[in-house]
Chain A
Amino acid sequence: MTPFVSFLMIVMAGLLVAAFMCLYRISRGPTAPDRAIAIDILGTLVVGFCCVMAMWTGQAFYMSIGIAWALLSFIGAIALAKYLEGRQYDE
């Protein structure tokens, strides 16, 4: 195991801890916007995972997955915000 691979494993462990904190907030969040924020943050973290996998395997297509994931996460965040804004208060 080269030092670079062990460094990437440490990075992956840090990102996993952050992702589990996001999952805690998704499962426990008191309101719907909490969950929307945590889903948005989780989508940004997955781009970091894609970077780590691209460096680990040396394949460039993981970065394409990252770009597509960032785009879908942005569209999802905008859609969730629209849904939250259009909802009535007592529904």
Chain B
Amino acid sequence: MNETIAQWIIGIGVAFDLLGCIGLVRLPDVYNRLQAATKCVTLGTCMILFGTFLHGAEAGRWQMGVSALLCAVFILLTSPVGAHAIARGAYRSGVRLWEGSVIDRFGEDLHGVHPPAERAEPADDGDPAAEPLESKS
């Protein structure tokens, strides 16, 4: 019974991994790819690790199960932090947003333009990612 639950959980985790990697291939932008891939692959791998824990608990291999649980907690803590750091580094290094993007809150924070009505006339024709570095240096 526990074994069946473990196999179902592992199967769903692999499906999440596959969908996240399809998003990594198909989406148009760095930020969209990061959004799709990081969340899906984190959840999928954590489900595989939890299935490993269930399998190890069923088979009596407690060292394997507890190690898998520790690894799941570690991935849940670190993977969003790494993704956030990479997204921030990508924006700071001047990677543009996709043309279809409708909002850019981080750029508004960096420019100091808070109401969207103020930003409407001049700022949209320029490169939205080139300006923060100029204003910083």
Binding site for B on A (CB under 8 A): 4, 7, 11, 14-15, 17-19, 21-22, 24-25, 31-34, 36-38, 40-41, 44-45, 47-48, 51-52, 54-55, 58-60, 62-64, 66-67, 70-71, 73-74, 77-78, 80-85, 87-89
User: Could you write out 26 A-B pairs with CB less than 8 Å apart?
Assistant: A7-B11, A11-B11, A14-B15, A17-B21, A21-B22, A22-B21, A31-B30, A32-B93, A33-B86, A34-B33, A41-B38, A41-B41, A45-B45, A47-B71, A48-B14, A60-B56, A60-B61, A60-B63, A60-B64, A66-B49, A67-B74, A77-B83, A78-B81, A82-B89, A84-B93, A88-B133
Binding site for A on B (CB under 8 A): 3, 7, 10-11, 13-15, 17-18, 20-22, 24-25, 30, 33-34, 37-38, 41-42, 44-45, 48-49, 51-52, 55-56, 59, 61, 63-64, 67-68, 70-71, 74-75, 78-79, 81-83, 85-90, 92-95, 130, 133
